[in-house]
Structure 1
Amino acid sequence: MVARWGTEHPSAPLVVALHGNGTSEHSMIEIAPWLPHGPVAYVAVRAPIERGAGFSWFLDARDGHPDPASLAATCGWFLDWLDTEGDPNRPILLMAFRDGVAFAGALMLGAPHRFAGGVLLYGALAFDAGVPMTRGRLAGMPVFLAHGSADPRTPAHLLAQTWDWLAKHSGAPLWAERAPGGEQLAGEVVGDVGTWLADRLDYLRAHGENPVPDGDEPPWPTLPGGRLPARTGEPPEVTAAVPQHQQSQIAPPHLQAELWTRLAALDAVSTAPTTVGVAGTRALLLDRATAAGPDAAFILPALGEFAHMHPEPDGSLHLVLPDALAYDALAKGWAVAHPLAGVRLSAGMVLVPGPRDAAEVDVVAGIAAASHRYAATG
């Protein structure tokens, strides 16, 4: 059983709404009129397992955790249904509430190539349920996450674990926010979802999808040995909204200075204060009259800004990489996707943490040189 809203064109982007356990498709389709109109279709799906007066996506194994076999079976059932929904190449986004978030996460993680984004509202991912959760698994898939500040239903430790994994390990461009309360969707959250969806849909219409590339790890001509090594240790804390900044594992000031000297010496580069960062942020610029890279290679195409460095005590970089290199850097811990990458900004827009030691200066400088190469030559 499904409920629909919006266009019926079989190639239009499709937003699939997934309700919480114990309710039905009607509880989600009601918010569709407050979301973007135009060439977009909304469909709310009824979960297949009866539960009291409502329906559920999976059986519980313990304390509300999904039973892995039940979750896997429903994922298979859903993907079979999805194959019947119009053009197989249409962009598909998931929008989930409460326990629907666990189901949506399992779908996105199990088949990331099938989805162009996810809206996860007031719920937690299905940890320890057999779902693949390797670092960078959701690279190239923008995610909007909202949690209630006083959620009475979803355990706080699962909400915290979900926020942490999506922010540090998923590779997804993550926009995350906390809303007052937690019993019902706040009107402000619905408005923010509408803005985010509109921007993501506009990006898809203009640029198409930016899927995770298959195959071997990409070459890095700007690094010794031509490959990017894995960054050691846990990723740093980084804000999950704008302005995006690094909050832990801060680079020592002398290494920040050494890195900047190397970046400013890149071929044909000029420097200036940026117009899009906090005071003290320094931009790396190329002359757009001679730089051959596409607009997508720049933070600010009109000004030729392809990267900038945040001032102390931050020391991180924002820069743009080709998609394959960006996803490689995300998977290996050298980058965090910008919250608006693939939404309002280039899909390869990332934050690169400042170097913690002399060896990392070489790696970070090599990543920045790859951004310079992309902007200069395409």
Structure 2
Amino acid sequence: MTEPATGTTAPSADHRTPAVLWSKPESERSGTPLLVLFHGYMADEQDLMGLADHLPADFTVASVRAPLPAGPGYSWFPLAREGGYSVERVVESVTAVAGWLDDVRGDHSSVSLLGFSQGMAVATSLLRHRPTDFACVVGLSGFTVPSEGHAFFRDDEAAAAPVQFFWGRDQEDQVITPEMIEPTHAWLVKHTKLTKILYPNMFHSINQQELAHVREFLTMTVLGRR
């Protein structure tokens, strides 16, 4: 994994400003398209930064740390099988990220999202909350969360103006269960312009073929190059 251009920004004392790792120094970010990365459960903001070397150099990449300590890393919200899970915990976490994005989006020509595993739940929840704010979204080996009728999720608006969405996964992924995949697939088909690709023998990870497809997707969708 290549060392990023700048260090981690420490979260503020009130914990509403997340720790973020940037691929470019602040002096080189203005006017660039922003790609925001959301890591998986028990990882941290360093986990996905190695992807930046495989993505279009035009992007500024920002990798965000989840707020809750979990094992050797962090989580965005408690897992559904854990006693502390609720849709409100998801909303609380995603609201904090949305607030940070409001502070930085003005420096960039567009904002796109990429989430891996639990991070895909964050990326899709941001899309569902702000359906017109993002150029595209990439979801890797992850899932969506049930909205449970919460007003935070503006799914009707997302369906009315569907965003380009890349979803990559392996059908043999043992972490994201079929019970999670079925509603995720149904939501993506109805609410996004979906590109779905399966990668045999990848399991719960990211491989080089998938990264090449993500690079092509971002190039065509955001940069407009073919």
TM-score relative to the length of structure 1: 0.50
Q: 2:218 matched to which residue of 1?
A: 197
- Aligned partner letter, 2:216: T
How far apart, CA to CA, are the structure 2 residues paired with 1:10 and 1:83?
A: 15
- Aligned partner letter, 1:96: G
2:68/2:75 contact within 8 Å kept: yes
1:10/1:86 contact within 8 Å kept: no
Q: What do the CA deviations read for 1:119-175 (whole angstroms, capped 9, x no partner)?
A: 0000111124533433853624110011112001011122132123212x11x2211
- Aligned partner letter, 1:150: E
How far apart, CA to CA, are the structure 1 residues paired with 2:146 and 2:84?
A: 8
1:19/1:98 contact within 8 Å kept: yes
| 1:251-330 correspondence runs (5 A) | none
How far apart, CA to CA, are the structure 2 residues paired with 1:177 and 1:65?
A: 33
- 1:175 counterpart = 2:175: no
2:35/2:62 contact within 8 Å kept: yes
- The equivalent position to 2:73 in structure 1, one of 54, 77, 98, is 54
- Larger Rg over CA atoms: 1
Moved over 4 A (4+): 63-66
**SS at the partner of 1:87?**
helix
1:137 to 1:43, Cα distance in 2 relative to 1, 3 A: same
**SS at the partner of 2:163?**
coil
| 1:132-147 correspondence runs (5 A) | 132-134=154-156, 136-137=158-159, 139-147=161-169
| 1:206-221 correspondence runs (5 A) | none
How far apart, CA to CA, are the structure 2 residues paired with 1:184 and 1:158?
A: 17
- 1:154 counterpart = 2:176: yes
1:107 to 1:160, Cα distance in 2 relative to 1, 3 A: same
Q: How far off is 1:75 after superposition?
A: 1.5
Q: 1:84 matched to which residue of 2?
A: 103
Aligned pairs, number = 202
- The equivalent position to 2:206 in structure 1, one of 172, 185, 195, is 185
Q: 1:20 matched to which residue of 2?
A: 40
Q: 2:186 matched to which residue of 1?
A: 164
- The equivalent position to 1:119 in structure 2, one of 138, 159, 164, is 138
Q: What do the CA deviations read for 1:264-283 (whole angstroms, capped 9, x no partner)?
A: xxxxxxxxxxxxxxxxxxxx
Q: What do the CA deviations read for 1:296-341 (whole angstroms, capped 9, x no partner)?
A: xxxxxxxxxxxxxxxxxxxxxxxxxxxxxxxxxxxxxxxxxxxxxx
TM-score relative to the length of structure 2: 0.81
How far apart, CA to CA, are the structure 1 residues paired with 2:104 and 2:215?
A: 23
Segments of structure 2 that go 5 or more residues without pairing to the other structure are 1-18
Q: 2:49 matched to which residue of 1?
A: 29
- Greater relative contact order: 1 or 2 (C-alpha under 8 angstroms, separation 6 or more)? 2
Q: What do the CA deviations read for 1:82-136 (whole angstroms, capped 9, x no partner)?
A: 1222526631000000011111111100111221110000011112453343385
1:139/1:173 contact within 8 Å kept: no
**SS at the partner of 1:145?**
strand
Q: How far off is 1:62 after superposition?
A: 3.6
Segments of structure 1 that go 5 or more residues without pairing to the other structure are 204-342, 345-378
CA RMSD of aligned residues (A): 2.3
How far apart, CA to CA, are the structure 2 residues paired with 1:42 and 1:164?
A: 29
